Amino acid sequence: MEVKTQQHTSERILYVRLPCNPIFPIGVVYLSDHVHKQFPNIEQRIFDLGTVPPLDYTSALDRCIDEFKPTLLVFSWRDIQIYAPVGGRGGNPLQNAFEFYYAKNPFIKLRGALGGLRIFIAYYVELWRNLGLVKRGLKLAQRYHTEARAMVGGGAVSVFYEQLNKSLPNGTIVSVGEGETLLSKLLSGGEFRDERCYVVGEQAPRNRLIHEQPTPLEKTACNYDYIESIWPEFNYYLSEKDFYIGVQTKRGCPHNCCYCVYTVVEGKQVRINPADEVVAEMRQLYNRGVRNFWFTDAQFIPARRFIDDAIELLQKIVDSGMTDINWAAYIRADNVTPELSDLMVKTGMNYFEIGITSGSQELVRKMRMGYNLRTVLQNCRDLKAAGFNDLVSVNYSFNVIDERPETIRQTIAYHRELERIFGADKVEPAIFFIGLQPHTHLEEYAFKENILQPGYDPMSLMPWTAKKLLWNPEPLGSFFGEVCLQAWNRNPNDFGREVMKILEERLGCAPLEEALSAPIENKQKQLVGV
Ligand code: B12
Ligand code: SF4
């Protein structure tokens, strides 16, 4: 045991956040904080490629490894997916895909094809570049320490861990979901393979690995004095005042929404971080000038039984005297009470996202989302009455399951009601097309309906696969394709609102009551039955 302890306290851990838009790298911050609390003598360094210009990626990584000489490289890979409804890294991928798949005008189709090709190339270049950075970093580290190892984890790895098996160097530890206990076990020299991970070249990932429960962990406030000391570029995110700095208040989501993988990445069991610890963490950031926080929870109020926890946290923020902050989060608006509304406004919530996906109660039920749309409306009214006067983003994904003209009319009615509550300029309809993700009910449904075959590659961007993953099936697929193209054409800067307008022009608007009532029927097709 003694030998093992000695061996592992001599580890030098380099956390490399792989290239990514500059979103605060809260994942590696928490991992290094956790390791420091468990093994205070281990030397660590954070290196964030999100703050490095693309041409300098390799030279900056080389320099960092030459200087720090790590024995363990912890690569954190945040995102791979590109179907954003807004401008992505290589243009607007959704627009290009829709132009290519649905445009009738051959020139627009060609423009879509060329744009799509550019994104296709950028996507694979990015993928290979990140894999190349892992290989390069490991090789270089092994020049200084032959036994140096690499681990990869993070949001993108959690979703695509099975596919990455083929492309990473042998011996790489691939981690799914939170990595704290995996790192603890690895560093204490014990068996770590019972955590949600596998080792490339040793064994194939266990079947249903992602569905295993994460090991429970009591989270304490991150020690930012320490983080500052191991992360030379920490100030990058503090100097620009408009960054929303991530703070996690809980992990897990108990719901079952058909397209969502968060609930398996984080697990269904909700684990609340003690409110005092969350506030203590925010206070450290606050003292460094941070005023904008993003509560990075899968859902800030995952279910009614967590309302009291949210109240406790917000009340403690009020008591802390941090009165000039703003915060944002994903909020299940069906769990907002008048008391919570009041606290949300008091503590400076100035943006939130509601992922209802459809304004038709019937479809919301079929997608297994567990929302009562009537309750959501009532709670939004309470929030407005409490003085909320900022932006709400409402996520809609048309055509997920059983969409019909009447359900579209219901969604329009629902959205118009939200506009009446908050003001049309305050409600942003964010039109997403569901990117089908592995390990979701929607994937099961696609297998069952023969839309996809088991063994398909969810990371593929080949047009024939991408069209299926960019979930927009016929018979309504071409209709939505055309509506979206028209919206980009008419008002590219306000795409979501324009889509709603065109849909209303073409199909009309249902009475609100129709949207809110869902007749019970037992159709084979609905996901509730998968
Ligand atoms: C909050 C969130 C956001 C917020 C972030 C706000 C902020 N300021 O931080 C917002 C809304 C802005 C956002 C945006 C986007 N997001 Co987002 N987001 C999330 C969410 C819900 C939580 C991420 C988070 O911070 N968690 C808390 C921290 C502590 O966890 P973590 O970073 O994952 O790190 C932990 C583990 O991953 C692990 N770990 C991390 N690295 C490593 C490395 C090793 C070696 C090990 C062992 C472990 C490990 O340990 C860490 C500590 O426990 C995740 C889904 C989820 N539930 O995880 C999606 C997620 C990360 N987002 C995703 C995507 C795609 C995006 C967008 C690109 C969407 C889009 N198409 O527009 C945009 C990016 C926008 C941009 N500007 O580029 C994907 C990424 C995977 C993918 N599909 O490619 C995820 C996983 C959702 C999903 N299932 O698709 N997002
Ligand atoms: S969509 Fe939201 S509420 Fe539904 S399972 Fe995912 S995180 Fe939970």
Q: Answer yes or no: do 420 and 480 share one domain.
A: yes
**C-beta of 93 in contact with ligand 1 (< 6 A):** no
User: Is 520 part of any domain?
Assistant: no
Q: How far is the CA of 264 from the centre of ligand 2 (A)?
A: 10
Number of domains in the chain: 2
User: Is 350 part of any domain?
Assistant: yes
How large is the average pLDDT for residues 505-513? 97
Residue 205: cis peptide before it, omega within 30 degrees of 0: no
Looking at residue 138, what DSSP letter applies?
H
Residue 252: pLDDT band (50, 70, 90) is very high
User: Is 97 part of any domain?
Assistant: yes
Predicted confidence at residue 86, as pLDDT, reads: 45
Ligand closest to the CA atom of residue 180: 1
Q: Answer yes or no: do 290 and 364 share one domain.
A: yes
Atom of ligand 1 nearest to the CA of 155: 86
Q: Answer yes or no: do 162 and 263 share one domain.
A: no
Say whether pLDDT at 455 is over 60.
yes
Q: What is the dihedral of CA 507, 508, 509, 515, to 10 degrees?
A: -20
Range of the domain at 422: 235-512
**C-beta of 153 in contact with ligand 1 (< 6 A):** yes
Say whether pLDDT at 31 is over 70.
yes
Q: What tokens were used for 64? A: 């960092």
User: Is 460 part of any domain?
Assistant: yes
User: Is 222 part of any domain?
Assistant: no
Q: Residue 66 is part of a domain; what is its CATH number?
A: 3.40.50
Q: Answer yes or no: do 322 and 436 share one domain.
A: yes
* Smallest CA separation from ligand 2 atom 4, residue: 257
Predicted confidence at residue 462, as pLDDT, reads: 78
* Smallest CA separation from ligand 2 atom 7, residue: 298
Ligand closest to the CA atom of residue 185: 1
Q: Tell me the per-residue pLDDT of 102-139, one tens digit each, with 9 for 90 and over.
A: 888 888 888 888 887 887 888 888 899 999 999 999 99
Q: Residues enclosing ligand 2, CB less than 6 A?
A: 253, 255, 257, 260, 262-263, 298-299, 332, 355
Q: Residue 380 is part of a domain; what is its CATH number?
A: 3.80.30.20
Predicted confidence at residue 82, as pLDDT, reads: 59
d(CA 461, CA 145): 38
**Distance (Å) of CA 56 to CA 18, 136, 138, 143, 150:** 13, 14, 18, 21, 21
Q: Which of 195, 211, 227 is the last residue of a domain?
A: 211
Q: How far is the CA of 352 from the centre of ligand 2 (A)?
A: 14
Q: Answer yes or no: do 320 and 463 share one domain.
A: yes
C-alpha Rg value of the chain to the nearest Å = 24
Q: Answer yes or no: do 143 and 261 share one domain.
A: no
Q: Tell me the per-residue pLDDT of 63-79, one tens digit each, with 9 for 90 and over.
A: 999 999 999 999 999 98
Q: Answer yes or no: do 196 and 303 share one domain.
A: no
Q: Tell me the per-residue pLDDT of 253-281, one tens digit each, with 9 for 90 and over.
A: 999 999 999 999 999 999 999 999 999 99
Q: Tell me the per-residue pLDDT of 398-429, one tens digit each, with 9 for 90 and over.
A: 998 899 999 999 999 999 999 999 999 999 99
Residue 52: pLDDT band (50, 70, 90) is very high
Q: Answer yes or no: do 160 and 269 share one domain.
A: no
Q: Answer yes or no: do 257 and 192 share one domain.
A: no
Q: Answer yes or no: do 197 and 328 share one domain.
A: no
Q: Tokens 């390799």 correspond to what residue? A: 58
Q: Answer yes or no: do 143 and 275 share one domain.
A: no
Predicted confidence at residue 91, as pLDDT, reads: 56
Q: Answer yes or no: do 438 and 497 share one domain.
A: yes
> Is residue 199 within a helix (H) or strand (E), and if so which, with residue range?
strand 197-199
Q: How far is the CA of 212 from the centre of ligand 2 (A)?
A: 18
Predicted confidence at residue 6, as pLDDT, reads: 44
User: Is 158 part of any domain?
Assistant: yes
User: Is 246 part of any domain?
Assistant: yes
Ligand closest to the CA atom of residue 181: 1
Ligand 2 site-directed mutation target among 299, 304, 331, most atoms within 8 Å of CB: 299
User: Is 229 part of any domain?
Assistant: no
